[in-house]
Amino acid sequence: MSKEFRHITRIAETDLEGSLKVVHAIAKIKGVGPSIANAIVKRSGVNPETRLGYIAEQDLKKLEEVVQNPADQNIPTWLFNYRKDLETGKNLHRTGSTLVLQIKTDIDRMKTSRSWSGYRHSYGLKVRGQRTKATGRKGKAIGVRKRRVRAGEK
C-alpha cells in the first residue's frame, strides 16, 4: 500500500477518481461493468476494499494488465463483451476507444447489409423493439405552427 494519495489515477486510457474503492473505480472505465470489474480486482490480487488512490504502482500495473488482457488472466469468457468476434473468432473484451470504434463499425456493417436494425439505425428510429407512437420524438417538430399573415390579408 502506498503512503501518498493520488487523486486521479490513469488506467486503460481513463482518468479514475482516487477516492473510490477499487472495484467501483475500475467499473468507471468504458466497457467494464461491475461484474467484470470484480473479477479483474480478484485476479490482480488487489484488496477490493482499498481506495484507488492508495494503491502501489506495481499493483496499478497489474490492474492495467488484467484490464487490457482479461483472456490471458483466466477470467470467465461469459463476462466478455465480444465473444466469438466476427473477424478473429476469439473471445475478446474491448474497452475505451476500441469499444467505441467497434460499435461504430458494427452499426455501419448493419447499415450496408440493410438488415432490419441497420435500417432502423440509418433512419434514426428505435432499434430494439420499443414503441414509437408516444416516445422517441426527439429532434422532430411537435405541435402546430401558426401560419404567417401577409401584409394586406386578415
- What are the tens digits of pLDDT across the range 66-100? 999 888 888 999 999 989 988 889 999 999 999 99
Region 129-137 average pLDDT: 85
Strand partners, 68: none
CA gap 23, 44 in Å, rounded: 11
The H-assigned helical ranges of 83-142 are: 96-113, 116-122
Confidence at residue 42, expressed as pLDDT on a 0 to 100 scale: 93
Whole-angstrom distance, CA of residue 137 vs CA of residue 154: 34
- Residue 140 pLDDT exceeds 70: no
Of 142 and 70, the structure prediction assigns the larger pLDDT to 70
60 CB-near residues (< 8 Å, 6+ apart): 9, 11
Query: For residues 69 and 17, what is the distance between their CA atoms, to the nearest angstrom?
Result: 22
Q: Does the structure show a pLDDT above 90 at 114?
A: yes
> What pTM value is reported for the model?
0.77
Domain 8-76 belongs in CATH node 1.10.8.50: yes
Contact between 13 and 65 (Cβ < 8 Å): no
